[in-house]
């Protein structure tokens, strides 16, 4: 049987596809099987026999069966030099910096991450930071067929814990930082750490942020060669030579890189990308030139308006990320106005900690919905409000109204930070994805002449 593609996503199906049935709590594509067959699926990998006239591979674990088949269909994936990036914050920015640098060097890589998947046949919005193991092989294999030599992957703690990168070998494993996130899934911070450590058991070279309090643990547990990057320390020491609202100038390994990135934490992300390039075999000069004028990806400290006041949109949705973003913006703000919320059906323990981070830096807090999913926004906001002390937030459940309120009260010299959703173009509400884009809401409001006159 000539299987040419493997997927669990109906939109991917073309003649010659093996279609993988997955029945999970939040994803169930069993109803898609008839349409997949109509579109040309020649094999269905299924947990039980189905009443369709098509060859079927019955397997209790369809993911594992599909992954074994993917190794045969996409053997080219093994030829790529892979960089795996893990950490609570900074994965996406580091991955995009590295992807853009490799492009400039004439080596466009495969990219797998929170924002997009790119197999060099075109980018598509991602649905998981670290997708199914057979789908990882599909992305990497298809990119290799288009001439890719490198692959850049964000590797989440959940993806590691679920074995989605099992059987893979990374040329470089990168640690950006470790903070509080996904504790609802892992059960404890120790288990969260243990999941992160797994990447460094499958990496030939570990590139670790020396400024992170957990650096020594990762350095000790890594099974490959270890390298450090940090402010004034490590194998790739960096120094911030200029920092303002227009961007960072960072000296790393004796080379000055001028960027459009904002925030000291982005100097760490830049150094991680620089170190990755060096460990992939590029010269200091190549790494330096390829990172010049680096810009943030959409929704990562993205400045969406500059005028009498500034507006930034950022994906920060953990206490640590909120703290870093607001600490960065504070020096540029007469008043710092923060719009944020917490996601539903996710770690309740971090909600009051998010409020504490906002209160540390903000003059005005506007508490709203994020992705409430199946939870009631009122209950989510009550959990968040428990973390406030001196600061009394304005609570506006409607996210559009909350953003518009923040913009309407902004005055000369203020900074408005809209946190939590970043690049996302939807809100998840009771099983539906409703179109919503923070940056577009800002532009619509200001273009309508209702602010920054």
Q: 215-250 pLDDT, tens per residue? A: 999 999 999 999 999 999 999 999 999 988 778 999
Q: 172-185 pLDDT, tens per residue? A: 999 999 976 666 66
- Among 307, 335, 337, residue whose Cα is nearest residue 453: 307
The predicted model gives 40-60 an average pLDDT of 96
The domains located in the chain, with CATH, are 5-73 (3.40.1390.10), 76-290 (3.40.1190.10), 302-447 (3.90.190.20)
The predicted model gives 4-19 an average pLDDT of 96
Q: pLDDT averaged over the chain?
A: 93
26 or 413, which is more confident?
413
The predicted model gives 248-265 an average pLDDT of 92
Q: 341-355 pLDDT, tens per residue? A: 999 998 898 999 999
Q: Which of 47-51, 124-128, 177-181, 444-448 has the highest mean pLDDT?
A: 47-51
Q: Report residue 214's pLDDT band, with 50, 70 and 90 as the boundaries.
A: very high
> Are 326 and 417 within 8 A, CB to CB?
yes
> Are 315 and 321 within 8 A, CB to CB?
yes
The predicted model gives 400-413 an average pLDDT of 97
Radius of gyration, CA atoms only, the chain: 23
448 or 137, which is more confident?
137
Is the model's pTM score more than 0.75? yes
The two structure tokens encoding residue 259? 């960027």
Q: What are phi and psi of 107, to 5 degrees?
A: -130, 70
């Amino acid at each position: 049987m000539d299987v040419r593609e493997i997927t669990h996503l109906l939109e991917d199906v073309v003649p010659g596809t093996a279609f993988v049935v997955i029945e999970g709590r939040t994803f169930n594509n069993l109803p898609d099987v008839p349409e997949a067959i109509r579109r040309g699926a020649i094999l269905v990998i299924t947990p039980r026999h189905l009443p369709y006239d098509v060859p079927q591979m019955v397997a209790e674990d369809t993911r594992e069966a599909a992954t074994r088949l993917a190794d045969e269909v996409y053997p080219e994936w093994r030829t790529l030099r892979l960089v795996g990036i893990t950490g609570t914050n900074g994965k996406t920015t580091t991955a995009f910096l590295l992807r853009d640098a490799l492009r400039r060097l004439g080596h466009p890589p495969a990219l797998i991450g929170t924002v997009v998947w790119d197999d060099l046949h075109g980018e598509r919005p991602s649905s998981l930071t670290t997708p199914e193991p057979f789908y990882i092989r599909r992305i990497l294999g298809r990119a290799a067929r288009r001439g890719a030599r490198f692959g850049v992957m964000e590797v989440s703690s959940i993806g590691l814990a679920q074995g989605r990168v099992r059987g893979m070998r990374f040329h470089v494993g990168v640690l950006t930082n470790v903070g509080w996130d996904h504790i609802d899934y892992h059960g404890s911070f120790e288990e969260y750490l243990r999941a992160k450590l797994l990447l460094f058991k499958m990496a030939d070279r570990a590139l670790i942020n020396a400024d992170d309090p957990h650096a020594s643990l990762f350095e000790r547990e890594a099974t490959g060669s270890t390298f450090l990057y940090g402010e004034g320390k490590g194998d790739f020491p960096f120094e911030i030579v200029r920092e303002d609202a227009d961007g960072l100038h960072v000296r790393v390994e004796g080379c000055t890189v001028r960027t459009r990135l904002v925030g000291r934490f982005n100097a760490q992300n830049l150094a991680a990308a620089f170190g990755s390039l060096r460990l992939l075999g590029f010269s200091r000069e190549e790494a330096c030139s390829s990172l010049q004028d680096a810009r943030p990806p959409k929704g990562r400290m993205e400045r969406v308006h500059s005028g009498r006041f500034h507006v930034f949109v950022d994906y920060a949705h953990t206490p640590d990320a909120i703290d870093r973003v607001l600490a960065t913006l504070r020096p540029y703000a007469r008043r710092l106005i923060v719009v944020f919320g917490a996601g539903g059906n996710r770690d309740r323990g971090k909600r009051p900690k998010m409020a504490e981070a906002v209160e540390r830096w903000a003059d005005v807090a506007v508490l709203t919905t994020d992705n409430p999913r199946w939870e009631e926004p009122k209950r989510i906001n009550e959990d968040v409000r428990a973390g406030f002390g001196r600061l009394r937030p304005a609570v506006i459940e409607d996210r559009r109204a909350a953003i518009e309120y923040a913009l309407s009260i902004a005055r000369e010299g203020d900074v408005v930070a809209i946190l939590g959703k970043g690049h996302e173009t939807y809100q998840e509400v009771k099983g539906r994805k409703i179109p919503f884009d923070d940056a577009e809401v800002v532009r619509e409001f200001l273009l309508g002449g209702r602010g920054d006159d």
